[in-house]
Amino acid sequence: MDKAFLTVENLNKRYTDDAPPVFDKVSFGIAQGEFVCIIGHSGCGKTTILNVLAGLEAPSGGVVIMDQREVKGPSLDRGVVFQSHALMPWFSVLGNVVFAVRSRWPDWPRDKAEQHARRFIEMVGLKGAENKKPSELSGGMKQRVGIARAFSIEPKMLLMDEPFGALDALTRGVVQDELLKICSATHQTVFMITHDVDEAILLADKIFLMSNGPRARIAEVVVNTMPKTRTRESMHHDPQFYRIRNHLVDFLVHRSRRIQEAGVEDAVTRVVTPGLEEDKLSQAVA
């Protein structure tokens, strides 16, 4: 693995002492500028891992190192997009983003902060809606404000917890495109939770597959072998798309449970490149 920007080592979390840990021996690395999606069934601790990365929750064991520094507590270096958008309803769209900007740069005068915020609101395609209250926006627009807010503090890393989970399919597509455009323009490092296999294939460079909890772990790292230029409209014409898709769905349907039953003894994370090196599939990489 290339020199990782973010390294997670042996992370585990248990909520009660007598119960087995939700996840155990979770280790992975994310390189700078990489877009990583994590997929797994409910209850495997995806959100907990994200919260640990965000610094909102403390792990029971293990360390997270970002940019040569241990992650302890929340930081402006990591922007978070929440599943429920978490906009403050008493602020306007602009107010919500300005609140973040002024948290990041407290010394900036008001108009400079506003200008900065407007740039990001425009980036997510909400120009003209700056003075609306969140309650006047649709679900998709709210989530875009959430994304603008997270990007506006120019974090070293972006964490997203199922950001599009509550959106209908059409809106989701539009916002995904928006996100893809921004991420490729800014080379943002992203860690994102999703339940949507297609979304993962569209957005991610690498897809982490988690086995079922308890004692969940990252069983496979699937490298996205589709070209970077893939788009939502055309990617399903590429035969490679189905090879990856089948691999992911097979994992969720069969292997995620089997791996859990096999126990942690076999705790290796395999790197898989579906479609390209079928023969290497069984080759274990530590």
Partner 1 sequence: MKPAAQLGWRAALISLAIFACLLLVWHLATAPKESARIQAGASSASSSAQDEYAKLMGKSSSAPVKTSGFPGLAQMGETMRKELANPFYDNGPNDKGIGIQLGYSLARVGLGFAIAALVAIPLGFLLGMSPLMQRALNPFIQILKPISPLAWMPLALYTIKDSSVSGIFVIFICSVWPMLMNTAFGVASVRRDWLNVAKTLEVAPLRKAFLVILPAAAPTILTGMRISMGIAWLVIVAAEMLVGGTGIGYFVWNEWNNLSLTSVIFAILVIGVTGMVLDLVFARLQKLVTYTE
The residues that touch partner 1, with contacts defined as CB under 8 A, are 54-56, 74-76, 78-80, 82, 84, 86, 88-90, 99-100, 103-104, 106, 133-135, 153
Nearer to partner 1, 41 or 133 (CB): 133
How many angstroms from the chain centroid is the CA of residue 247?
A: 20
Backbone angles phi and psi of 265, in degrees to 5: -55, -35
Residue 135's identity, in one-letter code, is S
* Dist. CA 208–CA 124, nearest whole Å: 27
Contacts of 283 by beta carbon, 8 Å cutoff, 6+ apart: 270
Residue 32's identity, in one-letter code, is Q
* Dist. CA 166–CA 129, nearest whole Å: 21
Output the smallest distance, CB 113 to partner 1, in A.
13
* Dist. CA 12–CA 81, nearest whole Å: 23
Nearer to partner 1, 104 or 236 (CB): 104
Residue located via tokens 């995620």: 256
Per DSSP, the residues of 97-144 read HHHHHHHH-TTS-HHHHHHHHHHHHHHTT-TT-TTS-GGGS-HHHHHH
Output the smallest distance, CB 147 to partner 1, in A.
13
Nearer to partner 1, 76 or 285 (CB): 76
β-sheet with 35-39: strand ranges across: 78-81, 157-161, 189-193, 35-39, 206-210, 218-223, 270-272
Output the smallest distance, CB 141 to partner 1, in A.
14
Output the smallest distance, CB 92 to partner 1, in A.
11
Per DSSP, the residues of 227-284 read -TT--TTTGGGSHHHHHHHHHHHHIIIIIHHHHHHH-GGG--PEEE-TTT-GGGGG--
Output the smallest distance, CB 129 to partner 1, in A.
16
Output the smallest distance, CB 74 to partner 1, in A.
4
* Dist. CA 7–CA 65, nearest whole Å: 5
Nearer to partner 1, 53 or 123 (CB): 53
Nearer to partner 1, 112 or 254 (CB): 112
Nearer to partner 1, 157 or 267 (CB): 157
Nearer to partner 1, 25 or 149 (CB): 149
Output the smallest distance, CB 41 to partner 1, in A.
24
